[in-house]
Amino acid sequence: MYLHLLIALIVAATTWVVGWWGVAVVALVAGFIMRARGGRAWAVALGAIEGWALLLIVDSLGGRSQELLRLLSGTINIPGPALIAATLLFPALIGWSGAALAAELGRLPFFTHRN
Amino acid sequence: MGVGHAQDGRVVSVIPSDARSLHFHVDQTSRFLAPLGMTGLRVLRLLAATVVFAASLYGGAHRFAPAPALGAFLDPAHGVWSLIRTADHAAASSAQIAHLGADVQIVYDDRAVPHIFATSEEDAYRAMGWVVARDRLFQMYLQTMAATGRLTELAGARALPLDREMRRLGLPRAAERALAAADTAAFMHNARAYAEGVNAYVREMPKSELPLEFRLTGTQPFEWTPLASFHLFGRMGWTLAYLSTETERSAAASRVGVRAAEALFPDAYPIQEPIQPNGQHAPRMDFQKLPPPGAPDTTSLLLASAVDAFLPSKLFAQKDADVSPQTFASNNWAVSPSRSANGHALLEGDPHLELNLPSIWYEVHLVVPGKLDVYGVTIPGAPGIVIGFNRDVAWTFTNTGTDVLDYYAEVVDNDAHPTKYQVDGAWRPLEQRIEKYAGSHGQALATDTLYFTHRGPMRRVRDRWLSMRWTVLEAGRELEAFYGASHAKSANELEAAMGQSYFAPAQNMLSADRGGHIAIRSTGHYPNRPGDGKGNVVRDGSLSASDWTGFLPLSAYPQSVDPAQGYLASANQQPIDPKFAQGWWGGNYDPWRALRINALLRADSAMTPAKMQAFQTDPGSERANLFVPYFVNAARRHSTDTSSKRGARLAEAERILAGWDRRYTKENTAAVLFEEAMRTLTSAVWDELSDDGRRVATPSSGVLLELLADPTSVWWDDRSTSAVENRDDILANALEAAVASVHARYGEPGSAKWRWSNVRNANINHLLRLNALSALNLPVQGGPGTLSPSVGIGTHGPSWRMVVEMGPDVHAWATYPGGQSGRPLSQHYTDRLPLWLRGELEPIRFPRTPAEIDAPHRSSVVTLTAAH
């Protein structure tokens, strides 16, 4: 039930340490571990969203989120809310696909025989 | 689409016909993967996951220009969002720099100015590189890319013309040669230390501090080298050491003949208020009657075309001058103790350059006890204080504008593919240089083969091979000059240091010292030419006798020390009165600012820093003072019949202009009419210089004033009418048209729309011209020809304003449009703008020790230690 929250914390910590591709690593590992349950890909995706949302909240403690959104949307011509949505959708895609991929591959005979 | 699957894994549900292909593939894949125990749904899931995962990773890591790579960009820990956390410096921090001799303390004051306290000069410059990189990293790199002709690597093929101009001029080559010539000089230790400081910051910089612009352009900072600093000086020369007069004169000669062109673009400006005092107590009007237009001289086109070939962007700016005149100008003045209220020498400086965010300038203070204590502004990337002061002397510059660029017609061995050129009958090998231009992904965009003679770059112009010699391309030692200025103990020492090492662009270097001396010298290197000494013709390159024979001695430069008049002032006017000088010393700028500042300084023998601050944005206009009466008188003579439309308009114009105090305040509602009348008048008068409706050259407004003194000159006649017009006819016509035009655009006279602040604004663009990061439509006081000029689209103006009082303790005030930080989210990105707009300055802190900046006035402290 709280799996996504656990994933969120792991995603946030991994992103903080190694960068954005940490999400892919977490998704692959989580998907593989939970391969018997289809990788819980949607939970991983949700966790990835929550993890990055948590980091965005940390960023916003600097107090200039609105200003940054204004600058960014003015610079790259994308509305601020769309930019936030893209920021949350991006780890979700990696999370879901990474977990699903790892789960499917993890269920191949090679891995199941080893288990 | 309904999808099910049977026990054997085959897809059994009905799939719409448009998806049959997918059905087929899944089915086939399913059959293939069946031995692995995969069902159709799982195969679909595997395929979808693989595609999405691969696409996400690819999109995350790969840049689809102009969009950045999504992963690094969106990453909330290190990507663009993290800029919120790193916008401003932490209150206290530390960092390590390799090669540091001892710890360095950096105290940022409440204006975000870093005061660097080091125990050796090399450490001070190392720290300087570090702090400048920390605040202005992208600016440093962009300027270097521009100076080296590598903008295509950021912007792609659209930047190719600009890059080609830089490289074809040989600016990168010149920087390499200047570095090679200076490699063993003592000041190079500081340049290397500076580069180490920059690189130390870049290496240790957390990912979250990477400036926004690098993220948007998908680029990374490269290794900084002393060569990059030399490139910046080359770029400065390209900006300032080009003179349009000879080009315009040639273009004019191609329309109205040489004699008329020489009168329209004279060597001796018709209004004389020179930088080197000439004993006058008022400006001198040396007005002559302009000779009538003559037969076109087509041979003059070669010189005009040379500029098109070598400096196309300059020509473009010149042609565009009606729309957006650029003001690379400046003011400076100094007052002797005898004319200052408190008996100390005073100095003012405000260079007028392109206004950018971040600003061209960065303010910094270097302290090495017993050796160095210098404060001022540097150009990010240049290891030295360019304008500023130490405990003994203050200095600042204005541009001189002397002709230091010549062209030579060369004889080559092969017109299509030259390998040699001829001098005095002997063949000399041409130096060839291959220049490759790369795109943003490193792809090859273009390749050029460049040719160089001993004079400089050679290009094909109108079926001739022309080479160019330009002081900007010589091996200058500007860094050494600034190093010398930082250590000078007096105005004399400063002028000597500059005179010895400074090459280009030539500047009117003004100084004031604690001993009460003031001095100015038009410093740079000026070619000693054979013959008449002028550089306004294409010379015969096949003769060595055409070459420069050296450079003029310092004693020949326009200069003055402690003049009897008690003050010195330069505003880019002709530096020396032609009556007292041999040769031509430049000054193609209009003299209106010079007239104004001289008038203000003459009128006050108890000068104070506060008054000098007020002068910086003085709205008074000598240009308006001289031109408006002509318009008013012409309107009066032509508005006798107020029942006619023309008469009513002219009466209205007369009322508005006669009632104007001729001050370009933000609130005034008459300047808009005067400026429109001036624009219309200029077009109407110089119709002889038009070619297919476009003016090939525009004489200065000083020459226009000269013409106004001759009411029946043939130049007043409008060739498009059968009547023969005189001065007042044309003035009245211009005024009538201006009234109609301003009415149409701004409505009834006196309305808010006529306010100057509605018409003319300052526009401070971000370096990448991104509006969201720019400060646009800023109302300012001042107009064309005022001390704080505002012209065209407002992209140029006072880039730094400084006043220094050289008493027993040095007191200084300054500001610039922008802020110390190059990070748009920082509170110091534009924090100085309101002050600049109001024409106010801030007092500068000039501490001897860190303790002299008490806690309330500190914004951040950094300790640099040696990396082991």
Read off the pLDDT of residues B184-228 as tens digits, 9 standing for 90 and up. Answer: 777 899 999 999 999 999 999 999 999 999 998 888 899 999 999
Interface contact B53-A24, CB threshold 8 A? yes
- Which pLDDT value is given to residue B475? 80
- Which pLDDT value is given to residue B289? 96
Decide if pLDDT at B423 tops 50.
Answer: yes
Read off the pLDDT band of B42 (50, 70, 90): confident
Smallest CA–CA distance, residue A2 to chain B, in Å, is: 23
B9-23, B120-134, B818-832, B851-865: least confidently modelled range: B9-23
A87 vs B403, residue with greater confidence:
A87
A63 vs B688, residue with greater confidence:
B688
Bridge-partner residues for B620, per DSSP? B663
With contacts defined as CB-CB under 8 Å, which chain A residues touch B53?
24, 94, 97-98, 101
Decide if pLDDT at B570 tops 90.
Answer: yes
Mutation target for A interface from B56, B73, B213: give the one with most A CBs within 10 A: B56
Residue of B nearest to A70 (CA): B772
- Which pLDDT value is given to residue B155? 87
B754 vs B6, residue with greater confidence:
B754
Bridge-partner residues for B464, per DSSP? B461
Residue of B nearest to A67 (CA): B825
With contacts defined as CB-CB under 8 Å, which chain B residues touch A86?
70, 74
- Which pLDDT value is given to residue B300? 78
| CA B196 – CA B851 distance, rounded (Å) | 28
Residue B551, token pair as written in the block: 């450079």
Read off the pLDDT of residues B699-732 as tens digits, 9 standing for 90 and up. Answer: 999 999 999 999 999 999 998 899 999 999 999 9
- Which pLDDT value is given to residue B264? 94
Interface contact A21-B61, CB threshold 8 A? yes
| CA B843 – CA B847 distance, rounded (Å) | 12
Residue of A nearest to B56 (CA): A94
- Which pLDDT value is given to residue B589? 82
3-state SS of B239-293? HHCCCCHHHHHHHHHHHHCHHHHHHHCCCCCCEECCCCCCCCCCCEECCCCCCCC
With contacts defined as CB-CB under 8 Å, which chain A residues touch B67?
76
Read off the pLDDT band of A107 (50, 70, 90): confident
With contacts defined as CB-CB under 8 Å, which chain A residues touch B75?
15, 19-20
Phi, psi of A49 (to 5 degrees): -60, -45
Rounded alpha-carbon distances, angstroms, from residue B268 to A19, B297, B573, B799: 65, 22, 11, 29
**Average pLDDT value for chain B:** 90
B183 vs B492, residue with greater confidence:
B492
Rg of chain A over Cα atoms, rounded to whole angstroms, equals 16
| CA A68 – CA B270 distance, rounded (Å) | 53
Read off the pLDDT of residues A62-102 as tens digits, 9 standing for 90 and up. Answer: 788 889 999 999 888 888 899 999 999 999 999 999 999 99
Task: Say how many Å lie between the first and final Cα of chain B, rounded.
Answer: 66
CA nearest to B764, candidates B843, B832, B857, B700: B832
Interface contact A62-B67, CB threshold 8 A? no
Which residues does B405 contact at the CB level (< 8 Å), separation at least 6? B241, B242, B243, B468, B469, B470, B471, B472, B535
- Which pLDDT value is given to residue B45? 84
With contacts defined as CB-CB under 8 Å, which chain B residues touch A94?
53, 56-57, 60
Decide if pLDDT at A9 tops 60.
Answer: yes
Contact B822/B358 with Cβ under 8 angstroms? Answer: yes
| CA B465 – CA B103 distance, rounded (Å) | 57
Interface of A with B (CB under 8 A): 15-16, 19-21, 24, 41, 52, 55-56, 58-65, 67-68, 70-76, 86-87, 90, 93-94, 96-98, 100-101, 104-105, 107-109
- Which pLDDT value is given to residue B317? 53
Smallest CA–CA distance, residue B67 to chain A, in Å, is: 8
**A97: nearest CB among B49, B71, B773:** B49
| CA A7 – CA A20 distance, rounded (Å) | 15
Indicate the residue type of B247: T
Q: Which helix (H) or strand (E) holds B595?
A: helix B592-602
Decide if pLDDT at B12 tops 60.
Answer: no
| CA B635 – CA B639 distance, rounded (Å) | 6
Rounded alpha-carbon distances, angstroms, from residue B120 to B116, B124, B240, B366, B863: 11, 6, 34, 10, 15
Decide if pLDDT at B823 tops 80.
Answer: yes
Contact B29/B47 with Cβ under 8 angstroms? Answer: yes
B216-220, B415-419, B497-501, B587-591: least confidently modelled range: B587-591
With contacts defined as CB-CB under 8 Å, which chain B residues touch A41?
49
| CA B194 – CA B129 distance, rounded (Å) | 4
Place of tokens 């290794």: B223
Decide if pLDDT at B181 tops 90.
Answer: no
- Which pLDDT value is given to residue B318? 52
Read off the pLDDT band of B313 (50, 70, 90): confident
Share of chain A above pLDDT 70, in %: 93
Mutation target for A interface from B75, B83, B774: give the one with most A CBs within 10 A: B75
Decide if pLDDT at B9 tops 50.
Answer: no
Q: Decide: residue B191, CB within 10 A, 0-12 exposed, 13-18 middle, 19+ buried.
A: buried
CA nearest to B783, candidates B668, B699, B862, B611: B668
Query: For B293-322, what is the mean pLDDT?
Result: 74
Query: For B458-468, what is the mean pLDDT?
Result: 92
Alpha-carbon torsion B577, B579, B580, B584, what sign? positive
| CA B444 – CA B492 distance, rounded (Å) | 52
| CA B138 – CA B205 distance, rounded (Å) | 13
HSE, side-chain direction, 13 A CA sphere, residue B544? 9
Place of tokens 């940490």: A22
Read off the pLDDT of residues B534-565 as tens digits, 9 standing for 90 and up. Answer: 888 889 999 999 999 999 999 999 999 999 99
Interface contact A75-B772, CB threshold 8 A? yes
Rg of chain B over Cα atoms, rounded to whole angstroms, equals 31
Contact B347/B804 with Cβ under 8 angstroms? Answer: yes
Query: For B268-290, what is the mean pLDDT?
Result: 93
| CA B596 – CA B618 distance, rounded (Å) | 9
Query: For B440-462, what is the mean pLDDT?
Result: 93
Task: Say how many Å lie between the first and final Cα of chain A, rounded.
Answer: 26
Read off the pLDDT band of B3 (50, 70, 90): very low
Which residues does B245 contact at the CB level (< 8 Å), separation at least 6? B265, B403, B536, B588
Decide if pLDDT at B846 tops 60.
Answer: yes
Query: For B271-291, what is the mean pLDDT?
Result: 94
Residue of A nearest to B33 (CA): A108
Which residues does B90 contact at the CB level (< 8 Å), separation at least 6? B860
Query: For B486-507, what is the mean pLDDT?
Result: 94
Contact B423/B521 with Cβ under 8 angstroms? Answer: no
Place of tokens 């000159």: B713
HSE, side-chain direction, 13 A CA sphere, residue B232? 25
Contact B812/B844 with Cβ under 8 angstroms? Answer: yes
Place of tokens 């920390």: B134
CA nearest to B617, candidates B674, B665, B670, B569: B665
